[in-house]
Amino acid sequence: MITAYDEPSARYVDAAGADIILVGDSLANVVLGQSDTLHVTVDQMCHHVRAVSTAKPKAHVVADMPWLSYHVSPSESVRNAGSLIRAGAQSVKLEGGHVRRDVVRALLDAEIPVMGHMGLTPQSVLAFGGFKVQGKTREAAKLLVEDALLLQQEGIYALVIEGVPSAVGTSMTEALDIPTIGIGAGPDTDGQVLVFHDLLGLTSRSPAKFVRQYADVGGVITTALSAFARDVRNGAFPNESETYTNPEELLN
Ligand code: KIV
């Protein structure tokens, strides 16, 4: 699974053969420049889901339900998830464990498939007192496994496990029948997910420990833009082949 937020990123992720495109609320960080994901709304998510879906990807498109879109009531959650589906998502993802039981049930009653997300859930940054690795004690790890089993029983179709020691990622994966997708959860989860901009070297923030940067696309962009600026300043752009020919009558 790889995130995407617009038509070009969705096209590239799809061409790379990813099984799932996540329109993540990491939109807030990597596209909108916010320091956390609490500042993104359902309308903003829908705007980007719509852009991703115009790429008509073969990959499954799952959209993050942003903070507060599923915390008030199950009925409000269904309406918000419905907006994401109408914008082009095929399922929604939400963060949290047993406290989300009623919401998961309501969404499934409305025929909306749900992916779970547990561990270092970024929407809990204030409650956690920062972006802190979760499940570090035997008791905390046990609660994560129990919560995962409970939401599996409710009917989530897959689970993202983020920011936990690898032994916890392994235990959760072994305990569940549904696929797990890890991000900072060690090598034993069924799948892995990374944020598009982190993977390609397009962010200014220092990457988390779990990020592997596969390219320096940011460096390529800066080199290309600088070359354009230089060519404009010294008159090298545009050249004759980049210029429309003047019709005879304009020259006389
Ligand atoms: O929003 C996001 O990009 C995510 C991934 C980090 C799993 O939820």
Structure tokens at 99: 């406290």
pTM: 0.97
**CB-ligand 1 contact for 25 (6 Å cutoff):** yes
The 3-class SS string of the chain reads CEECCCHHHHHHHHHCCCCEEEECCCHHHHCCCCCCHHHCCHHHHHHHHHHHHCCCCCCEEEEECCCCCCCCCHHHHHHHHHHHHHHCCCEEEEECCHHHHHHHHHHHHCCCCEEEEEECCHHHHHHHCCCCCCCCCHHHHHHHHHHHHHHHHHCCCEEEEECCCHHHHHHHHHHCCCCEEEECCCCCCCEECECHHHHHCCCCCCCCCCCCCCCCHHHHHHHHHHHHHHHHHCCCCCCHHHCCCCCHHHHC
- Number of Cβ within 10 Å of residue 121's Cβ equals 21
Residue 212 burial (10 A CB sphere; 0-12, 13-18, 19+): exposed
% the chain with pLDDT above 90: 98
Q: Where in the sequence numbering do the catalytic residues fall?
A: 162
Answer whether 183 contacts ligand 1 (Cβ < 6 A): yes
Distance from the alpha carbon of residue 143 to the mean position of ligand 1, in angstroms: 22
- Pocket probe for ligand 1: among 9, 26, 92, the residue whose CB has the most ligand atoms within 8 Å is 26
Cβ–Cβ under 8 Å, residues 176 and 149: yes
Give tens-digit pLDDT for 148-177: 999 999 999 999 999 999 999 999 999 999
**Cβ(195) to ligand 1 under 6 A?**
yes
Torsion of CA 129, 34, 87, 5, to 10 degrees: -110
Looking from the CA of residue 195, the nearest atom of ligand 1 is: 3
Structure confidence by residue, pLDDT tens digits, 66-108: 999 999 999 999 999 999 999 999 999 999 999 999 999 999 9
pLDDT score of 205:
84
**CB 26 near ligand 1, within 6 Å:** yes
Q: Indicate the pLDDT class of residue 193, thresholds 50, 70 and 90.
A: very high
- 184 sits in the region (left: phi over 0; alpha: psi -120 to 50; else beta) called left
Residue 25 Cα to ligand 1 midpoint, Å, equals 6
Which residue has a Cα nearest atom 1 of ligand 1? 24
pLDDT value, residue 153: 98
